[in-house]
Amino acid sequence: MNNEEKFTVPSATLVEKPAEYELRAEVPGIGKEDAELHMEGKTLTLKTHAKYQNPAGFKVAAQEFERVNYSMSVDLPDMADPSALSAKLENGILTVVVKKRPETQAKKIDIL
């Protein structure tokens, strides 16, 4: 990276599913080894520290995107269970799945 202290907030979506929440963030250029996820209370924090450098001797002829590091904090909804969390980073997309607390899930009530 040209400037290691510069962080960008990734483009991300949080989707609610019946039993879980799914957070998807676009972090192109970031590998698993470059990303750090922290959970503090209800706050999920992502920070990346990739070190990119253009190949030696090459000049930039056109630049439409920057190789940046990403930083993001998300407050998970009250119904989320921060201890039931899984994350994967594939092809520059970070996916975090957080289960809902069982007691908050809708129950079907039989009508007698």
- Residues of this chain that bind other proteins (CB under 8 A): 26-31, 54-55, 57-65, 89, 91-93
Q: Which is nearer to other proteins, 58 or 112 (CB)?
A: 58
Residues listed for the chain: 112
**What is the residue type of 86?**
S
Closest CA to 28 of 44, 12, 13, 15: 12
Strands 43-48 and 69-75: antiparallel
Minimal distance, residue 25 CB to other proteins, in Å: 9
Residue whose CB is less far from other proteins, 58 or 110? 58
Q: Is 101 in contact with 77 (CB distance < 8 Å)?
A: no
Nearer to other proteins, 18 or 57 (CB): 57
Q: Nearest distance from residue 24's CB to other proteins, in Å?
A: 9
